[in-house]
Structure 1
């Protein structure tokens, strides 16, 4: 994913009303950015951190600037725009950057499925192969040197695990793909201390055949790419 033009830097003043953030540019201008991330953003929105933002060419947007990346004082870069995770995964699938998910001839996004009326992020198909259902989750929470998902209790995420578990039981391929959008995260664990029910459902899903993958992104002001597999901690793979 290319940022054209490259993102611009600013200093974060505050995030507020979930969708907005005030920043100050290097020349002293105060801007209000749109924030596409409605989650907790723990560790991703510390006042004083560097924000990298894009600007829309649309003349009708009330807030033309969008918060894309946070650069922490530890030097980590974090993509906070939740819309980017699926875009990065689709690009990675197209260029064959996820070997575990290669060899499929068709890729559809947002396909309705399941008994709980869900939409799968990606459905991969190929003649002679079982359908492959992929649920993508963005990972940005770093605590005590470890990456965790989720960063808040997620009823929606719990539903997705139940759906994947059912799909696997029906003989299809079911994949939970963690898109790790934090350069400081080296492995991913279920955040049992935040959402114990999600962590337990993840264990159950894996026992039923759901595969769990984690791929980390390279992040800069010019581009982002999912480039390398990282580990899923043992306590998620029981």
Structure 2
């Protein structure tokens, strides 16, 4: 996926989870942060960030903050909308007969429903931006919604669906994601239950450019 009208800036502060203060073109500007997660280990005063100019000229904020430079790692894409977009592109090349985003199942909307030769599939997508010692961790904040989605996948697997949970690793080098049990132990427990039930856990490592995010074929853990 591609971004347009890119600018480099310097991160100054994050007054709330929706906006940040940055220095761009020698002036301070308020920008929209495309991630409501904490991102505390990324959004540090003085770090380089990447902005994308919004298409809507009437918007209150002119730019979206889409990526952050992390020392020793490189650019980390923090756009929370990017994982689903890039997975939809990936699924288009996986020989499915039918792909439907935002599929209503149980009490949830699962990110993707697919069919192949009569087999029904469900795939939930999570973006990972938290890294420690070369390993990705999810979530970076408690996510009851994430736990609920995993339980829905377990139920669907028991009903005959082929189910998967895909972690889109929005940073270079990292090849796997583990549950961040210190932040949300219930997510870790649900993830282990899912594995035991036969839900496939898929890692999709990405190459991050200033104006793009691309799945790195050498860092795909499994086909689906």
TM superposition score normalised by structure 2: 0.93
Indicate the larger mover: 52-61 or 184-193.
Answer: 184-193
Question: Are the aligned partners of 2:66 and 2:79 in contact in 1 as well (CA < 8 Å)?
Answer: yes
Shift of 1:93: 1.6
SS at match of 1:85: helix
- Cα distance, 1:75–1:161 mapped onto 2, change above 3 Å: closer
Moved over 6 A (4+): none
Q: Does 1:133 align with 2:122?
A: yes
CA RMSD of aligned residues (A): 1.6
In 2, are the aligned partners of 1:188 and 1:231 still within 8 Å (CA)?
no
Residue of structure 2 aligned with 1:112, choices 68, 81, 104: 104
**In structure 2, C-alpha distance between the alignment counterparts of 1:135 and 1:34, rounded to whole Å:** 26
Task: Return the structure number with greater strand share.
Answer: 2
Partners of 1:222 and 1:65 lie apart in 2 by: 14
CA contact (8 A) 2:4 2:53 kept: no
Aligned ranges 1:19-168 → 2 under 5 Å: 19-25=18-24, 27-94=25-92, 96=93, 102-114=94-106, 117-126=107-116, 128-168=117-157
Q: Deviations over 1:136-164 (max 9, x none)?
A: 00001112332111112110111011000
Q: Distance in 1 between matches of 2:197 and 2:175?
A: 26
Structure 2, unpaired ranges of 5+: none
Shift of residue 41, structure 1, vs aligned partner = 1.2
Cα deviation code 1:173-215 (max 9, x no counterpart): 1100000002242321111222111111111111111000001
Task: Provide, for residues 212-232 of structure 1, a one-character-per-residue CA deviation record: whole Å limited to 9, x for no partner.
Answer: 000111111132111233559
Mean Cα deviation higher: 35-44 or 60-69: 35-44
**Offset at residue 59 of structure 1 (A):** 2.2
Inter-partner Cα distance in structure 1 for 2:73 and 2:165: 28
Specify whether residues 140 and 222 from structure 1 end up closer, same or farther in structure 2 by C-alpha distance, changes over 3 A only.
same
Paired residues of 2:103 and 2:109 also in contact (CA < 8 A): yes
- The 2-side partners of 1:57 and 1:213 are apart by 33
